[in-house]
Structures are given as C-alpha cells and as structure tokens.
Amino acid sequence: MVDYFIKIDFNVFVQVGLFLLLLVYLFTHRKDPHHLMSGVSLFRTLVLVILFLYLLLNYASEIPPGLRSASILGMFLINLYMLWNAVLTRLERPYRVALEACAQTPGNMDVLKGAWQAGKRFFSVRYFLKALFSGGSVRRFLNNLASHQVREDLTHIFKKEGIHKDFISLKTLVTYLKKQLAQEETLPQEFKGTMDQVVADFAGHPWIEDQVNQFLNLLLASPEVLFYPEWAAGQEEVGKTQGPAAGG
C-alpha cells in the first residue's frame, strides 16, 4: 500500500514537471514568426491550464485513491495533447521557412520540392487522425490534402510577399517568357532565336526595367492608379464633392 502511494506521488510530480516544460516551450515558440498561433489556440491553451490546475488541486484534496488515479490520468492526457502540439510546432517551422524561401526565389524547383516535402510531413501528422476516419485510403487522403494545402499556402505567401518584395519584376517576366519559348515545341527554332533576342533587347535598358517594375507593382498593389489615375489623384476632392450631395 505504501509503495502504491509513493508511485502515485512520483507520477504526479512527473506530470507537473512535464506540463510546465511543455507550457514554457509552447509560449516561447509563440513569438516565432514562423509559427502561426491564433486566438483560438491561446484560448484552448488557457482552458487546458485551468483544467490541469483543477485536476492537480483535486488530487491534493482528501479524495479516495481511485479518484487520485483518475486525476493523474487526466493530467497525462493533457500532457499528451500538449506534446502533440509541440511536435506540430517543430514540424511547422521548417515548412513556413520553406514557403518564404519559395517567395524569395520564385521558379526554383529545388526550393519548391523542399517546401512540398516539409508541408507533406507537417500536414500528415496534423491530419493523421482525420485521415483514419476518412473512409478511404489514408495515404491518398493525406497526399491530396497536403497538395491542396501547400498550393493554398504558396498562393497566400506569394500574395503577401509580393506587395513588399521585388520578385515581381521585369526579370521575372523575362524568365517566364524565355521558359515559354523553350517549352513551345510548335514554334520554329529560328523564330525562337529571334524572339529570345527581342526579349533580351527589351529587358536590356534600365529605363524599361524601371517602368515595367513600377507597372507590375502598381498592378498588384494599387490597380486603380493604373486604370483610373484621374480619380485616384483627386479622390479626396471627389469625396468632398459627393459628400454634401449624398447628405442632401
């Protein structure tokens, strides 16, 4: 009987220590820009902390040994869930880093391959339980889900970084045109050579490069300046003119 209570006390100390370590780890990585932590995640973590403290206080109160064991089991399950979240953060970080690398070096297939592998690993762990109850092939479910999610995240990161980075530029356009010329099998080789030279001549002047870069950035960030420059320039005046009319 004495050995039984010593074992229980040892287990509760282990659970408390593990819980504190996991809590410090999760809140330390919350400041990592590569780890996305929403308000829902914070609320869920707060609920787990309150529940763990309740189980700990319940264990320390005058209750039968069976209920003490139930409290330790509850603390163990909470620690298991938090450990799973910690594993997810470790897998998510290299995936987010790889996505940013894709935005920094668009067109680099090696970087894209690294992002795909990191994303597949992350989403396979994150949605493994969901895949088990999908009713179909677990591998196919996870592969399709990862493909869709990585594509969505790439689109998001390109839109996000494109407003602030310079990868949307004349150089990107030239690379795209040359790639299209190389892949087009129906065009004569002489025509390809001529067009390649035309593209090179077009991109060779600094003034052209500056104007095209400005156009591409405006098209992405402020298209109204391109299509309605007069309205964009006099937007305040238009608002002032329409304001009294609307009020009247």
Q: State yes or no: pLDDT of 159 exceeds 80.
A: no
Q: State yes or no: pLDDT of 95 exceeds 70.
A: yes
The whole-angstrom separation of Cα 247 and Cα 22 is: 58
Neighbours of 103 (CB within 10 A): 20
Q: What is the pLDDT of residue 30?
A: 64
Q: What is the pLDDT of residue 122?
A: 92
The structure tokens listed for 25 are 């780890």
Q: What is the pLDDT of residue 188?
A: 87
Percent of the residues in the chain that have a pLDDT greater than 70, as a whole number? 73
The structure tokens listed for 10 are 């040892």
Q: State yes or no: pLDDT of 169 exceeds 60.
A: yes
Long-range contacts (CB closer than 8 Å, 24 or more residues apart) made by 125-133: 125/87, 125/88, 125/91, 126/88, 126/91
Burial of 181 (0-12, 13-18, 19+ CB in 10 A): middle
The structure tokens listed for 214 are 């400005």
Poorest-pLDDT segment among 27-31, 57-61, 161-165, 191-195: 161-165
Of 79, 80, 101, the closest CA to residue 34 belongs to 101
Angle at 240 between CA 235 and CA 243, to 5 degrees: 120
Q: If you search the block for the tokens 């209750």, which residue do you land on?
A: 63
The amino acid at 46? L
Of 84, 93, 78, 96, the closest CA to residue 128 belongs to 84
